[in-house]
């Protein structure tokens, strides 16, 4: 297995992990977006540009979802006492 294939395997595995954990925290959604960027880079480097384009679209979708989730999450407030 060459370095590019290992990179692709790591990128897709990271994306899958973040997808599985997404319900736990909005930070996993951001991780998913980052994994999509890595998957897109892999797709373009491999020469599979349709895969790279779709992963870029998933990056935008998941990053927008992260922004919405982050705004909806209650902010940590320091206690008054």
pLDDT digits (tens, 9 = 90+) for 20-52: 999 889 999 999 999 999 999 999 999 999 999
Q: Which residues contact 39 (CB under 8 A, 6 or more apart)?
A: 8, 11, 12, 15, 51, 55, 58
> Chain-wide mean pLDDT for the chain?
91
Q: Considering the entire predicted model, what is its pTM?
A: 0.84
What pLDDT does 70 receive? 87
How far apart CA 15 and CA 8 sit, in angstroms, is 11
């Amino acid at each position: 297995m060459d370095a590019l294939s290992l990179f692709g395997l790591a990128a897709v595995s990271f994306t899958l992990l973040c997808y599985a954990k997404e319900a736990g925290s909005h930070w996993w959604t951001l991780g998913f977006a980052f994994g999509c960027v890595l998957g897109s880079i892999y797709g373009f480097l491999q020469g599979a540009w349709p895969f790279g384009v779709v992963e870029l679209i998933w990056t935008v979708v998941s990053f927008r979802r992260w922004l919405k989730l982050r705004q909806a999450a209650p902010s940590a407030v320091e206690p008054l006492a």
